[in-house]
Amino acid sequence: MSEHIYGAILAGGRGSRMGNVDKPKQFMNIGEKPIIVHTIEKFAVHDGFEKIIILTPRAWISHTNDLIKKYIPAALQSKLCVIEGGASRNETVMNAVSYIEKNGVLDDDTIIVTHDSVRPFVSHRIIEENIQAAREYGACDTVIPATDTIVESLDHSMISAIPDRSMMYQGQTPQSFKARKLKELYLSLSDDEKKILTDACKIMVIKGEKVHLAMGDTTNIKITYPEDLRMAESLYAAAK
């Protein structure tokens, strides 16, 4: 039986921390193209994906489709689709899984590679290693070793602990999973458990499932604040 691999580009953010409420950050430009286009390109050229699902706010679906028609080669457009994201990050991921169930194949071996639309510098290597790790282990998170000392403060005023930095990692994306298992675990969460979710990997961790580490890259930055956009411009210029 052939394997089914899907990409899910999460573009539901509103960009409030960027200080521009009119245009979500994923639609701002790096160089001559919107951030989301750079990210879509990285997934579209990977021949392992059966379909790449791009999840955006409803009001931006039409605009995203227009960007795909403008920037993505016609030969690659057929494996892209744009649908509405959810109210939270994990609901957005579940919308992607539901799309796969209705329009593709959702079986025990189906893999979903989820990625932030505002991480446009993800590499082919990172995507490939995510697919391999999800295939072998069932779940993986892209990380880089923490370079700064991590300080914990339970009351947000005083230090409560300083964990051993050698065991600390900074999470990136992609996060990749066996899609059916992810859905089953998400549906089994209580309302209280759903409230503490920060990302899809936490679903697995809460339920006692092992999540493999896939090594990311310091250039695989998430564009959240204006200074990130300036750094992204520099990375893009250096790569040209």
Per-residue pLDDT 10s for the chain (240 aa) are: 478 999 999 998 665 555 555 788 999 999 999 999 999 999 999 999 999 999 999 999 999 999 999 999 999 999 999 999 999 999 999 999 999 999 999 999 999 999 999 999 999 999 999 999 999 999 999 999 999 999 999 999 999 999 999 999 999 999 999 999 999 999 999 989 988 888 999 999 999 999 999 999 999 999 998 899 999 999 999 887
pLDDT at 1: 46
The answer to whether the CB of 5 falls within 8 A of the CB of 48 is yes
Cα–Cα distance for residue pair 80/53, rounded to 1 Å: 6
Query: Tokens at residue 98, please?
Result: 């539901």
Query: Tokens at residue 26, please?
Result: 């994923």
Contacts of 94 (CB under 8 A, 6+ apart): 86, 183, 186
pLDDT at 239: 84
Query: Tokens at residue 225, please?
Result: 């604040």
Provide the CATH topology of domain 5-145+172-239: Spore Coat Polysaccharide Biosynthesis Protein SpsA; Chain A (3.90.550)
Strands in 103-138 per DSSP E: 111-116
Q: SS3 of 198, please?
A: coil
Give the residue among 229, 225, 211 at the shortest CA–CA distance from 175: 211
Domain ranges within the chain, ordered by starting residue: 5-145+172-239
